[in-house]
Amino acid sequence: MKILFQSPDLIAINKPAGILVHGAPHMKTDEPTVVRWVLENFPSVKIVGDDPVHRPGIVHRLDKETSGVLLIALTQTYFEYLKNLFQKHEIKKTYYAICAGIPKNKKGIIDIAIGIKSGTTKRTVFSGKMAKSAITEYEVEKEWNEGGEKRCLMRVIPHTGRTHQIRVHLNYIGCPVIGDELYGGTKNKKRAPRHMLHCFSMEFCDMNKKTLHITAPLPDDLKTYLPQ
């Protein structure tokens, strides 16, 4: 885990793809997680959070295959402060995604609620249970052909924080994140060894009203899928 920013109250790390943020029922007992790393390196965090036994210091999460900026509170005061910022959508999150296909509109806002598909944990925009408002802003930055298939690099800013929001919304406009089997299907899974989604930056004001802009450069495995 590379530390991108550190203060007495907060660390921001560049989470690698393939690492869970915290434990899950299906995981192996010796599987590495962000939480295990945090407890080893910052043991005082064990009492921080809403559920410090399982998710000490964890204010938000990234999917296992998603890489990039992850914020971890080191004190309860800062945990509550960050939690409030996330709830008020006062943290600007910018992602990059490599997608199959090119959207009809090269930039825009996807404003469609996301719910849970009946009988699964999969998210859907089609009349799912417990549907909640979800808004995603996107812009195509590059487009190219790869083996006869159209692809693009999108800059994505989620204005809400629903589970799998970016993956669901980009698939909805016909541009699934390559490597994403859950929302793009088996053929799409074969396009990359993991879904090519990266949290590039987070920007917010700290408790002293100073603007923090924390960035994590595009990882090498994602850059190999970009045109040379």
Q: Has residue 215 been placed in a domain?
A: no
* Each residue's pLDDT tens digit, 61-78: 999 999 999 999 999 999
Q: Is residue 156 part of a domain?
A: yes
Query: Counting Cβ atoms within 10 Å, is residue 46 exposed (0-12), middle (13-18) or buried (19+)?
Result: middle
3-state secondary structure of 3: strand
Domain boundary among 26, 61, 88: 88
Residue 45 structure tokens: 């965090």
The string of pLDDT tens digits covering residues 124-169 is: 888 667 889 999 999 999 999 988 999 999 999 999 999 999 999 9
Q: What is the mean pLDDT of residues 98-125?
A: 92
The answer to whether residue 199 scores a pLDDT higher than 90 is yes
114 forms bridges with which residues in the sheet? 132
pTM of the predicted protein model: 0.93
Same domain, 81 and 170: no
pLDDT tens across 168-180, in order? 999 999 999 999 9
Same domain membership, residue 162 and residue 184 = yes
Radius of gyration of the chain (CA): 18
Does residue 52 sit in the same domain as residue 125? no
Whether 114 and 101 map to the same domain: the answer is yes
pLDDT at 128: 67
Supply the range of the domain harboring residue 4: 1-88
DSSP state of 102: -
**Same-domain status, 151 and 73:** no
Asked if pLDDT for residue 187 goes beyond 80, the answer is: yes
Catalytic residue, from 50, 63, 180, 206: name it.
63
Q: How confident is the model at residue 31 (pLDDT cuts 50, 70, 90)?
A: confident
180 noted as active-site residue: no
Domain total of the chain: 2
